[in-house]
Amino acid sequence: MYSATLHYTGVPYQQHPGAAKAGIDALTKLWAVELGPHDVRVNGIASGPIMVLGSLDILIHTPR
């Protein structure tokens, strides 16, 4: 499962992806607990921000 680090600290105007990523993290943990006794391993990857031209402008500069 893929997530992100967006919801760990909070970013203005990113409520919808932050909530979705937090949900992915929760599902990963829940499935690991439920499926672990059946020898099924569940892994999650939470990558940091990917620096693309203009991406920092969107995340750092907030509208007034």
More confidently predicted of 63 and 18:
18
pLDDT at 6: 66
pLDDT at 16: 82
Q: Write the pLDDT tens digit of every residue in 2-41.
A: 666 766 777 777 788 888 888 888 999 999 999 999 999 9
Domain encompassing residue 48: 2-60
The catalytic residues are 3, 21
Structure tokens at 56: 């920092």
End-to-end CA distance of the chain: 36
Tell me the pTM.
0.63
Neighbours of 30 (CB within 10 A): 11
* Number of domains comprising the chain: 1
